[in-house]
Homo-oligomer: A and B are copies of this chain.
Amino acid sequence: MRERLLSSGDARDLAGLFQVMADPTRLRIISLLAETELCVCDIAAALEMTPSAVSHQLRVLRMTQLVKFRKEGRMAYYSLDDDHVLKLYTQSLDHLGHMPGGTIGSVRKPGGPDR
């Protein structure tokens, strides 16, 4: 147990990482890019969203170095930047799987830990 109280700065940085992951659209994009490299229009089509909305989210993922991209003609192909992202993503999926009935963010069973 080597952990100690996080400094305010480190806590802010770490919160920034989780904040980027804390959006359904961005998580679905990551789930797509976990399989293969994709262009914006394919992602937009898969998510049934406008290319604009997807592009905004890709910008966030790009700025925080969770995804990288390469340009080929007028297309931009996106992929995960490194496998830390993938690890964090798959680990969180495991966590969700261990939650009884998927209790996070949705309706919880009565008589739970609160109240």
A interface secondary structure, majority:
helix
User: When A28-B5, A68-B113 are in contact, do A17 and B104 touch as well, CB less than 8 Å?
Assistant: yes
List the number of copies, as a whole number: 2
Q: Do A15 and B27 touch (CB < 8 A)?
A: yes
- A27 to B, closest residue via Cβ: B11
Question: Is A71 an interface position by the 8 A CB rule?
Answer: no
User: Which chain B residues border A32 with CB–CB below 8 Å?
Assistant: 5
Contact of A114 among B18, B59, B81 (CB under 8 A): B59
User: Which chain B residues border A25 with CB–CB below 8 Å?
Assistant: 11
A23 to B22, CA, bound (A): 11
- A114 to B, closest residue via Cβ: B63
